[in-house]
Structure 1
Amino acid sequence: MRRSLIALCLNVFIHHAATNADSWCYTGCEHTPDHWQDLDGSFCGGQRQSPVNILSGHVERDATLGSFSFVNFSSRNAFRAIVNTGHTAKFLLKDNEVELSGGGLNGTYSTIQLHFHWGDTEHHPGSEHAIDGHRHPMEMHIVSLKKGLSVAQALEDSAGIAVLGFFIRATEDENLSNPWSALTSYLLKNTGTEVNVTHAISIDDLIGDVNLTKYFRYMGSLTTPSCHQVVAWTVFQEPISVNKILLQQFPLKTGLTNVYRPVQDLHGRQVFSSAALLLPPSHVWCYDDNCEFSPAKWHLLPNSHCDGERQSPVNIEAKKAVKDERLDGFAFTKFDDKHVIEYITNTGHTVKFVLKEGAMEVSGGGLGHVYSALQFHFHWGSSNPNSEGSEHTLDSKRFPMEVHIVNKRKDLTLEEAVNTTTGLAVLGFFIEAATIPKSRDAAEQHEDSHDSPDDSSDESMTGSWKALSSYLAEIQSIGSRVEVTEELSLAGLLGDVDLASYYRYNGSLTTPSCNEAVIWTVFKDSIKVDRSLLTTFPNRSGFGDVFRPPQSLRGREIYTTATGGALAPAIFFLALVQLCGFLL
Structure 2
Amino acid sequence: MCLPHTGLMLYIQWAPIPKHVLLLYMTDLTHTGTLHLTTDGLTWTVFNVTHHTNIFFFTLETSGLDDKMSLSSVLLCLSLGALANSAAGSDWCYSGCEHTPAHWKDIPDAFCGNKRQSPIDIVTSHVLTDHTLVNFTLTNFSSPHVIKTIENNGHTVKCNLVENEVEVSGGGLKETYSTLQLHFHWGDTEHHPGSEHLIDGHRYPMEMHIVSLKKGLTVEEAKADPEGIAVLGFFINATDDGDMSEPWSNLTSYLMNKTEPAVNITHNISISDLIENVDLTKFYRYMGSLTTPSCNEAVVWTVFQEPINIHKNLIQLFPKVTGLTNVFRPTNKLNGRQVIVSPATPLPPSPWCYDDHHGDDCEYSPSNWHLLPQSHCGKKSQSPINIETKEAMTNKHLNNFTFTKFDDKHAIKYITNTGHSVKCVLEEDMVEVSGGGLGYVYSTLQFHFHWGSESHDSGGSEHTVDTKRYPMEMHIVNKRKDLTLEEAIKTPNGLAVLGFFIETNPTSTTTSNMEAWKNLTNYLSKIQNTKTKVDFTEMISIDDLLGEVDRTAYFRYNGSLTTPSCNEAVVWTVFKESVKVDQNLMMMFPNQTKNHNVYRPKQSLNDRKIYTTAGSSVHGPIIRFLLLACLCHFNL
Q: What is the TM-score normalised by the length of structure 1?
A: 0.50
Q: TM-score w.r.t. structure 2 length?
A: 0.46
Q: Which has the higher contact order (CA 8 A, sep 6+)?
A: 1
* Structure label with greater radius of gyration: 2
